[in-house]
Amino acid sequence: MGNQAELARDFDRARGHLRAVAFRMLGSADDADDAVQETWLRASRADASVVVNMTGWLTTITGRVCLDMLRARQRRGEELTDMSDFEPAAGSADAAGPEDQAVLADSVGLALMVVLERLGPFERVAFVLHDMFAVPFEEIARIVDRSPVAAKKMASRARRRVQGEATVPAADLTRQRHVVDAFLSAARAGDIASLLAVLAPDVIRRADRAALPAGVPTEIRGARRVAEGAVTFLERARFARPALVNGTIGVVVAPRGRLQLVVEVTIDGDRITAIDLIGDPGRLRQLDLAVTSPDLPGRAVPAR
């Protein structure tokens, strides 16, 4: 494996895996591409002649690169969840391209990307590598410069934050999830009749000013008005996913995995009685967000 040509072939075979790892750790397709390129530069300068598991070795390098990038991002105070430069009416949600949208929505999950953004760099690296790519803690320990026991604790803390803790019984949460899924499906389809079926007749929709375009009232009442208001925001509904919001079922709206809006939902029986839209960045940061059970990550192809 010592010559560059063979290393280049091995790297090309692992490129898709490395990009998937980097994307989950960084939450940005562009940053993931940069991380993969940096991985190649570091690998090409190292001695690969004694490497037994090339994919595992390259994954380790990618993990170190991503940790460096996450720590640099943290020092600069960057927040991928800052949507101040996003105009909901501009129709720019496809700017990242259909391939990256599919990766976000299908392979990772928009809600999960939002929650991962709230983890510290070390916790995020430990969680992604172990829980999503089955990298052993002994290897993760070398990446984060900690003991295997400490790396395991990092992943455990991250897992608890990702999973959250529901404040309602599991059966109630499942029932509420069905109601929210029905609401989102109807909103995406622009189906007024189906929306009316899940909205209480006297439902109220409240919102802070940051959550709405100029001129839209911050409070409306009645199922018909709320349903009509929901179908007005079809573009947003494409990027809405159920999530735990302060321990109860709610919705996050995250174009390109970047948090734009949180929807708190009050449900009585099988009807939604209140909807609260939160778009103010200060309020968003105060919310406790987690991923609902059906959306918890599974492991990708192990690096070992």
Residue 184 has pLDDT above 70, yes or no: yes
Please give the structure tokens belonging to residue 268.
């009585």
**In CATH, what class is 4-78+109-163?**
mainly alpha
Q: State what percent of residues in the chain have pLDDT above 70.
A: 87
pLDDT at 79: 53
Q: Which of 14-23, 77-86, 266-275 has the lowest mean pLDDT?
A: 77-86
What token pair was written down for 6?
A: 């063979």
pLDDT digits (tens, 9 = 90+) for 217-253: 999 999 999 999 998 887 788 889 999 999 999 999 9
Could you give the CA distance from residue 74 to residue 120 in angstroms, rounded to a whole number?
8
Q: Where does the chain hold its CATH 1.20.140.160 domain(s)?
A: 4-78+109-163
Q: What is the structure's pLDDT at 82?
A: 37
pTM: 0.80
Cα separation, 236 vs 111, in Å, equals 14
CATH 3.30.565.10: does it fit domain 170-293?
Answer: no
Structure confidence at residue 108 as a pLDDT band (50, 70, 90): low
Backbone phi, psi, residue 291, to 5°: -100, 135
26-84 per-position pLDDT tens digit: 988 899 999 999 999 999 998 887 888 999 999 999 999 999 999 999 888 765 443 33
What mean pLDDT comes out for the span 20-28? 91
Question: What does the DSSP 8-state code read for residue 167?
Answer: S
Residue 148: what pLDDT? 96
Distances (CA, A) of 65 to 28, 30, 42, 158, 191: 14, 14, 9, 20, 46
Q: Residues 117, 80: contact at Cβ < 8 Å?
A: yes
Q: What residue spans in the chain does CATH classification 3.10.450.50 cover?
A: 170-293
Q: Is the pLDDT of residue 88 over 50?
A: no
